[in-house]
Amino acid sequence: MRWSDTLIPTLRDAPQEAEIPSHKLMLRAGLMRRLAGGLYTFLPLGLRALRKLEAIVREEMDRAGALEVLMPAAQPRELWDRSGRYAVMGELMYHVTDRQKREMVLGPTHEEVITDLASREISSYRQLPKTFYQIQTKFRDEIRPRFGLMRAREFIMKDAYSFDTAWDAADRSYQAMYDAYARIFARCGLRTRVVEADTGAMGGKWSHEFMVPSEFGEDGIVECEACGYAANLERAERAAPAFDRPGGGGAPPPEEVATPGRSTIEDVSQFLGCAPERLIKTIIYVVDGKTVAVCCAGDREVNESKLRRALEASVVEMADEAAIRRVTGARVGFAGPWGLSIPVYADLGLDGAADYAAGANRDDAHLRHVVLDRDARIAARHDLCVARGGDPCPRCSGALRERRGIEVGHVFKLGTKYSDSFGATFLDEAGAARPLVMGCYGIGVTRTLQAVVEQCRDDKGIIWPLSVAPYRVALLVLNPGDGGAGEAAGRLAADLEARGIDVLLDDRDERAGVKFNDADLLGLPLRVVVSARGLAAGKIEIKPRAGKEVAQAPLEGAADRIAAMCGE
């Protein structure tokens, strides 16, 4: 392809909308353009990279035995009522009312549609296992679309759904997708980290995320270098802290202190001259309709998913002001774990907590010299807080490290959540009807493309891996009219294209400096330069984008050499 025949509107400066390096580079290299917040048009160069990435995904899905299908983006609302997710998804889904006044949603995911299909088309164990996938456009009404393709309102996903006769069979399907994901990201040139993850709105029993480590990632993850444990902060466990604490035996009794108007951790900490981690934070929750108190150290945040799992509950919500007053007898900000008629759950970070301060369950008052086990009745202790760097690893004696990551893939063991809602059963060998056991699996295809750019770049531009580069070779002709350079470059490009190597021939009437800069910005894996001066010596110049070394190579046999460098 000749540069002058396509459209690659490179930019010297990134538009203001772009906040992170990959987003800036994708705009500057002319891969895409913004249509509106969270909506992007792929220009020819960006789409070529996207199609190559999709082809890798498709190949690995097919290799894993998954069957490609294509489901509509528009889905009848009734399906979402049936799964109970209409309410759960809330404003994240786009709603469309057609002219018959029927409501449809634009699917942010397709569990409902595929389970409905499976309930109709799968009837016997003989048809199982089956895994279906699609590469399809999804819609989400993000509160704050940002970072280009990282959090877009319309994006391409590969979603897959497995159906099995039983849990152990479902585990094999899960593992097959897990392995395929690992191959896909490796082939895209991405270094990923697999972390344990929360199942969130998807439901289900267990999940893993494939994360691309990046300071600009929207997800927090912790990992233990000693044993390899890694998890999303939403999910990450932690062990009880091992440090010695003052015992509660000889401590003085609790003492009430007036703390007029001091209702936040920060205020109380300053007022009492006591570090936040030596305060006990007490939060009133409504868990499946029952009111409970949860306490943890003042410098920690409760992880509501952990609370939900620990209490084996479905819905966890913070109590409102009236309920807090009713339960504690005090305004918000003065709750403490004692004298309550509701169960009190303590975070394991408070194990052996002695000489702490906490709310007095009376307006404008706190207690100090509190020894938790002595002064309060704790119903149970659990890991209830969000983990963070420095926490003890839950698997070994190491310490957790905190990082940021971009979630590019997510695999879920769903179990029978959806098959139960849709009555998706099969007849087993004995002729008994049993629910299909499901898994679901997603790759953010457009997000993965940007993650490649985020991970593969330097200060001059993108450094595409061969596998997903829009073209594998950037062929620059300096002064195309000079000494047959244009013709020689055209012949070389044709020779390479005949070998199946895609070439972007920069035939523009531009200065050499512009072409070199654009070549670095676009980041095609091999830069080949043809100039009249080189040709006079029978030479061309070859430089891998990722390397520093510029090689002079004979024009004779150059195509062979370039093809070999492209792995052909």
The smaller minimum CB distance to a copy of itself, of residues 87 and 143, is found at 143
User: Minimum distance between the CB of residue 134 and a copy of itself, rounded to whole angstroms?
Assistant: 8
The smaller minimum CB distance to a copy of itself, of residues 129 and 298, is found at 129
* Interface with a copy of itself, residue 5, by CB under 8 A: yes
Q: Which of 154, 234, 375, 518 contacts a copy of itself by CB under 8 A?
A: 154
Segment interacting with a copy of itself, rule: CB under 8 A, options 135-143, 190-198, 286-294, 458-466 = 135-143
Q: Which of 12, 101, 126, 548 contacts a copy of itself by CB under 8 A?
A: 126
Q: How far apart are CA 328 and CA 259, in angstroms?
A: 16
CA dihedral of residues 545, 547, 550, 556 (deg, nearest 10): -70
Task: Single out the residue of 460, 543, 484 nearest to residue 29, CA to CA.
Answer: 460
Residues from 19 through 38 that contact a copy of itself (CB under 8 A): 33, 35-36
- DSSP string of 102-114? -EEEE-S--HHHH
Q: How far apart are CA 401 and CA 398, in angstroms?
A: 10
User: Minimum distance between the CB of residue 21 and a copy of itself, rounded to whole angstroms?
Assistant: 23
Q: How far apart are CA 13 and CA 10, in angstroms?
A: 9
For residue 457, the SS3 value is: strand
* Tokens, residue 371: 């020894």
The 10 Å Cβ neighbour count of residue 154 is 18
Q: Report whether 466 contacts 525 (CB < 8 A).
A: yes
User: Minimum distance between the CB of residue 318 and a copy of itself, rounded to whole angstroms?
Assistant: 22
User: Minimum distance between the CB of residue 165 and a copy of itself, rounded to whole angstroms?
Assistant: 15
- DSSP string of 278-291? GEEEEEEEEETTEE
Planar angle of CA 544, 548, 553, nearest 5 degrees? 55
> What number of CA atoms fall less than 13 Å from residue 554's CA on the CB side?
3
Residues from 76 through 115 that contact a copy of itself (CB under 8 A): 76, 91, 94-96, 98-99, 104, 106, 113
The one-letter amino acid at 119:
S
Using CB under 8 A as the binding criterion, the count of chain residues that bind a copy of itself stands at 52
* Interface with a copy of itself, residue 143, by CB under 8 A: yes
* Interface with a copy of itself, residue 423, by CB under 8 A: no
Segment interacting with a copy of itself, rule: CB under 8 A, options 116-124, 279-287, 351-359, 544-552 = 116-124
The dihedrals phi and psi of 464, each to the nearest 5 degrees, come to -65, 135
Q: How far apart are CA 476 and CA 483, in angstroms?
A: 15
User: Minimum distance between the CB of residue 236 and a copy of itself, rounded to whole angstroms?
Assistant: 30
User: Minimum distance between the CB of residue 302 and a copy of itself, rounded to whole angstroms?
Assistant: 26
Strand partners, 527: 474, 543
DSSP type of residue 276: G
* Interface with a copy of itself, residue 120, by CB under 8 A: yes
Cβ-defined contacts of 202-206 (< 8 Å, 24+): 202/109, 202/111, 202/412, 202/414, 202/440, 203/414, 203/417, 203/418, 204/412, 204/413, 204/414, 204/415, 204/417, 204/439, 204/440, 205/413, 205/414, 205/415, 206/412, 206/413
The smaller minimum CB distance to a copy of itself, of residues 99 and 548, is found at 99
User: What mask, x for binding a copy of itself by CB under 8 A, covers residues 35 to 74?
Assistant: xx--xxxxxx--xx-x--------------x-xxxxxxxx
The smaller minimum CB distance to a copy of itself, of residues 94 and 271, is found at 94
Q: Which of 17, 19, 63, 121 contacts a copy of itself by CB under 8 A?
A: 121
* Interface with a copy of itself, residue 17, by CB under 8 A: no
User: Minimum distance between the CB of residue 344 and a copy of itself, rounded to whole angstroms?
Assistant: 37
Q: How far apart are CA 476 and CA 540, in angstroms?
A: 10
User: Minimum distance between the CB of residue 460 and a copy of itself, rounded to whole angstroms?
Assistant: 23
The smaller minimum CB distance to a copy of itself, of residues 9 and 390, is found at 9
Segment interacting with a copy of itself, rule: CB under 8 A, options 16-24, 124-132, 177-185, 274-282 = 124-132
Segment interacting with a copy of itself, rule: CB under 8 A, options 123-131, 276-284, 427-435, 512-520 = 123-131
User: Minimum distance between the CB of residue 111 and a copy of itself, rounded to whole angstroms?
Assistant: 14
Residues near a copy of itself (CB under 8 A) are 4-7, 9, 33, 35-36, 39-44, 47-48, 50, 65, 67-76, 91, 94-96, 98-99, 104, 106, 113, 116-117, 120-122, 126-127, 130, 132, 137, 139, 141, 143, 153-154
